[in-house]
Chains A and B, each alone.
Chain A
Amino acid sequence: MKSAPFAYHAPASVDEALALLAAHGDEASVLAGGQSLLPLLAMRLARPAHLVDIHRLDELHRLEVDGEHVVVGAAVTQRRVERDARVAEVCPLLADAVPWIGHAAIRNRGTVGGSLCHADPAAELPVVCVASGATMTIAGTSGRRTVAAAEFFEMPFTTAVQPGELLVDVRIPVRRPGERWAFLEVARRHGDFPLVSVAVAGDAIALGGVAGRPVLVADVDAARDAVTAADDIHATHEYRRHLAGVLVERTLARAAAA
Chain B
Amino acid sequence: MISVALTVDGHAASATVEPRTTLADLLRDHIGATSVHLGCEQGACGACTVLVDGELARSCLLLAAQCDGRAVTTLAGIGAPGSMHPLQEALRDSHGFQCGFCTPGFVLTALALLRDNPAPTEAEVRAELSGNLCRCTGYQSIVEGVLVAAERMAAE
Contact = CB atoms under 8 A, between A and B. Distances in A.
B41 A190 contact: no
B129 to A, nearest CB: 9
Contacts of A102: 131
B131 A108 contact: no
A6 B62 contact: no
Interface residues of B, number: 29
B65 A8 contact: yes
A55 B55 CA distance: 17
A196 B127 CA distance: 20
A189 B57 CA distance: 20
A55 B53 CA distance: 15
Give the secondary structure class of B's interface.
Answer: mixed
Contacts of B66: 31, 34, 53, 55
Interface string B120-133: 00000001101100
Contacts of A39: 42-43, 61
Contacts of B25: 1
Contact of A1 (B20, B62, B130): B20
Interface of A: 1-8, 10, 31, 34-35, 38-39, 41-43, 51, 53, 55, 79, 102-106, 108-109, 189-191
Interface of B: 2, 18-22, 25, 41-43, 46, 49, 52, 55-58, 60-63, 65-66, 109, 112, 127-128, 130-131
